[in-house]
A = this chain, B = another copy of it.
Amino acid sequence: MYFCPMYSKEIIKGTLKPIILKLLEQEGRMYGYEITSKVKVLTQGKIQITEGALYPLLHKLEAEGIVITEQENIGKRIRKYYLLTPEGKNLATAAIDEFLDFMVTIKSILDPTANISYGNAK
Give chain A's interface residues, CB within 8 Å of chain B.
4-7, 12-15, 18-19, 22-23, 39, 42-48, 96, 99-100, 102-103, 105-111
With A18-B110, A42-B108 given, can you name 19 additional A-B contacts, CB distance below 8 Å? A4-B46, A5-B45, A7-B46, A7-B47, A15-B106, A19-B106, A19-B109, A19-B110, A22-B109, A23-B109, A42-B109, A43-B105, A43-B108, A43-B109, A46-B105, A99-B110, A100-B111, A103-B106, A103-B107
Determine the main DSSP class of A at the interface with B. Answer: helix
Q: Can you tell how many copies of this chain the complex includes? A: 2
Contact B100 A110 (CB under 8 A): yes
**A36–B45 Cα gap in the complex (Å)?**
35
Q: How far apart sit A49 and B44, CA to CA, in the bound complex (Å)? A: 33
Q: How far is the CA of A112 from the CA of B12 in the complex (A)?
A: 21
How far is it, in angstroms, between the C-alpha of A106 and the C-alpha of B20 when the chains are bound? 12
